[in-house]
Amino acid sequence: MSHVANIMLSVDPDDRPTVESLSRWLQTSAPLRGHGPGATGRVGPLGGTTGEDTRRGDGGFPERDVYAGALDHADLDELIAHVERLAWRQPEFVHLFVTDQEQSSFRVWRFHGPKLRQISPEGREEEVRPAGGPPDIHTRFALAGDVELLRDMVVAAVNWGPGPAAPREAVLSDPRNAHYVDGWPRPGDLGLVALATREVDRWEPAPVGAAWLRHFTEDDPGYGFVGDDVPELSIGVDAAQRGRGTGTALIRRLLRTAREAGIERVSLSVGRDNPAVGLYTREGFRLHGRDEGEDSLTMVVHLR
């Protein structure tokens, strides 16, 4: 399966020649994603979607031309940069819509002066490719179909240490671990999945980590339980991805999303000797209580 991106481009009719030039570039010399530095080639054409058969009910024609295409292995950063460099006659009417293979909604760019600026969602490209994260990693929200991945990440989190790994069945049969995922997603759950685009996976985005929040109660507490109103963070990253910034990218986007959702505090539990303590501290988590003599620490971050 190839790496596909769907794009749409809305322009003033005066810019039809500019779109034709862009389409020729996409069919001949566009930079390729996942083919090594400097690789170029055909990623796909743009086709017009407006014309005489798209009249309004009163017989008038659309005021803008709309073009669309499914691009295969297109380097999206280079595509956006190329669109910005083109000599548009009416740049104020240019809108670029892009959705990548693992995204559920379009991102939208328009010109602000000479520069293209992402205006949706909320002008933040790092929503998808977090700033400072590995260049081959992007994130998306965790869906109902990700439950087995989350179970794998629970097992990865339990087996963080250098000793013998506990079998998956043993980890997930323990109710203290299983309740972090059982019934996913239930009301109040919020999660992200990290995906890597690698040659070993034939450039198909493959999940390599996840982070999620879940509320617990005093009758059924998590390891890092603080209160009914404080969701607990769980995170797991494939061993081969640790130390590359994948966990940082997941935590930063998840905490920002939680803040925007009105969540005021998030807790977690971490082994006292786990190197991830440093990561959590850098991201604002602080020790909750004394936890003297305990093998694990409970930490809390205040989001407001």
Q: Which domains does the chain have, with CATH numbers?
A: 4-123 (3.30.70), 137-302 (3.40.630.30)
Return the pLDDT at 144: 84
Return the pLDDT at 124: 43
Over its length of 304 residues, how does the chain's per-residue pLDDT go in tens digits? 357 899 999 999 999 999 999 999 999 999 998 777 788 999 999 999 987 666 655 656 678 999 999 999 899 989 999 999 999 999 989 999 998 866 667 889 988 878 888 887 644 444 455 555 666 678 888 888 889 999 999 998 888 777 788 899 999 999 999 999 999 989 899 999 988 876 555 566 788 899 999 999 999 999 999 999 999 999 998 877 777 788 898 999 999 989 988 999 999 999 888 888 999 999 999 998 765 556 889 999 999 8
Contact 266, 300 (CB under 8 A): yes
* pTM of the predicted model over 0.75: no
Return the pLDDT at 61: 67
Return the pLDDT at 56: 58
For residue 126, CA distances in Å to 101, 118, 258 come to 16, 11, 16
Return the pLDDT at 143: 84
Return the pLDDT at 1: 38
